Amino acid sequence: MALQNSNFMIRLSDNVLMVNDMAGLVSRLRRRIPGFASVGVLTDRNVEETVIEQTGLLQKISSSAHMSVVKPGEASKSLTVVEQLSQEWLEAGMDRNSLIINIGGGVVSDLGGFAASIFKRGIRFINIPTTLLSMIDASVGGKTGVNLGGAKNQIGTFSRADEVIIWTGFLKWLPSRELKSGFAECLKHAFLQGGEALRLVNHGLPADPATLASLVEASVKFKDSVVNADLYEIGQRKILNFGHTVGHAFESASLLANAEPWLHGEAVAAGMLVALRLSVRVAGLSPDFAAKWEEFILNNFSIPKTCGMTSMSLMQFLRYDKKNVGNSLRFVLLKEPGMPLFDQEIAAESVREEVELVLSLLS
């Protein structure tokens, strides 16, 4: 589809739009909603109390939408919550001609996208991401899902949002820890692209809203180009898992630990520390490059303390990783910036050694 821009929005891809202001967002939604018999809005309590109340978004788009509000946080990504939501939607009379609008971070788009993709065998949904991470990553790309037994994203579908509408103005309410978490995925995209993309992130998280919006635009376009070439992650899309193999293990371990759970981006930042080291070890990445960016990650992401995590406990989580086949551990590595390699099999003991070293950097 041709990319059509207007004074209030630019089209970043066939299903991703970026609007300049609240009026642009409202105008776009008002154009979409009349095509559906009923509308359900899903959000979490924090987003409802900050973003939705402050902007009056719901009153501006629909007075009759059925509103569902879940608890903020990973615990809402569960089959139990999917069942509760589906029950609510049934009772609200929603059917195959209903639309779900997910307003929130990655938890809301993963949960709402998954529930919509299986409700009545699949109904349409729009994502309105309100965190940096969901703008550049979670809400784009068509992966939905929930956690199972403490392990991340074990149940899910590939199901693309009808539309993703990004307004970076929402980020003014986002706590800085959450902003940094999203910036980790921007950094991942930059490692995968190299060149100009790495220069864009070199100075850390942009404080200026216009520069941040440009970073979001570039990051979304990159993710979308990778996803479009391989929606079902048979090949090249696997590169987007850079830092995620061990990242998911850190994230899962922190959910069980007796401390504040790590944010997704914090876990990915820690996972990239391991992936950079493994890249030097087996893929020929320059040690100077890895050392420079290791320091950057340690200085820019305030990764939480590891609270009793051990290399052995983290290795336990790696066996759940969907990228592994049998007992081998598969990684995305960097040969050079902009030159990722996927399906790189690495001996578990080498991984454990690097995890151990990274744990010592973080403790």
Q: Out of 19, 42, 61, 105, which residue is the one contacting ligand NAD (CB under 6 A)?
A: 105
Q: Which helix (H) or strand (E) element contains residue 296?
A: helix 287-300
Spatial contact of 234 and 322, defined as CB atoms under 8 Å apart: no
Residue with token string 């030159």: 339
Handedness of CA 202, 176, 25, 7 (dihedral sign): negative
Q: Name which of residues 258 to 297 contact ligand NAD (CB under 6 A).
A: 263-264
Max intra-chain CA distance, the chain = 60
SS (H, E, C) 110-168: HHHHHHHHHHHHCCEEEEEECCHHHHHHHCCCCEEEEEECCEEEEEEEECCCCEEEECH
Of residues 43 and 279, the one with the C-beta less far from ligand NAD: 43
Q: Check binding of 138 to ligand NAD (CB under 6 A).
A: yes
Alpha carbon dihedral 68, 69, 70, 71, in 10-degree steps, equals -170
The token duo for 159 is: 């199901």
Which residues are paired to 127 by β-bridges? 102, 164
Per-residue CA distances from 292 to 68, 280, 295, 335 (Å): 45, 13, 5, 16
Q: Check binding of 28 to ligand NAD (CB under 6 A).
A: no
Of residues 217 and 290, the one with the C-beta less far from ligand NAD: 217
Of 101-109, 272-280, 318-326, 348-356, the window that binds ligand NAD (rule: CB under 6 A) is 101-109
Shortest Å, Cβ 239 to ligand NAD? 13
Of residues 109 and 279, the one with the C-beta less far from ligand NAD: 109
Spatial contact of 89 and 118, defined as CB atoms under 8 Å apart: no
Q: Check binding of 354 to ligand NAD (CB under 6 A).
A: no
Q: Check binding of 24 to ligand NAD (CB under 6 A).
A: no
Of 107-115, 200-208, 323-331, 345-353, the window that binds ligand NAD (rule: CB under 6 A) is 107-115
Cα–Cα dist 63/269, whole Å: 41
Of 9-17, 128-136, 298-306, 332-340, the window that binds ligand NAD (rule: CB under 6 A) is 128-136
Q: Check binding of 167 to ligand NAD (CB under 6 A).
A: no
Q: Out of 133, 267, 269, 309, which residue is the one contacting ligand NAD (CB under 6 A)?
A: 133
Q: Name which of residues 30 to 89 contact ligand NAD (CB under 6 A).
A: 44, 46-47, 50-51, 72-74, 77
Q: Check binding of 130 to ligand NAD (CB under 6 A).
A: yes
DSSP-derived 3-state class of residue 205: coil
Q: Out of 40, 104, 261, 271, which residue is the one contacting ligand NAD (CB under 6 A)?
A: 104
- Which positions lie near ligand NAD, rule CB under 6 A? 44, 46-47, 50-51, 72-74, 77, 104-108, 110, 130-131, 133-134, 137-138, 141, 143, 152-153, 170, 173-174, 178, 181, 263-264
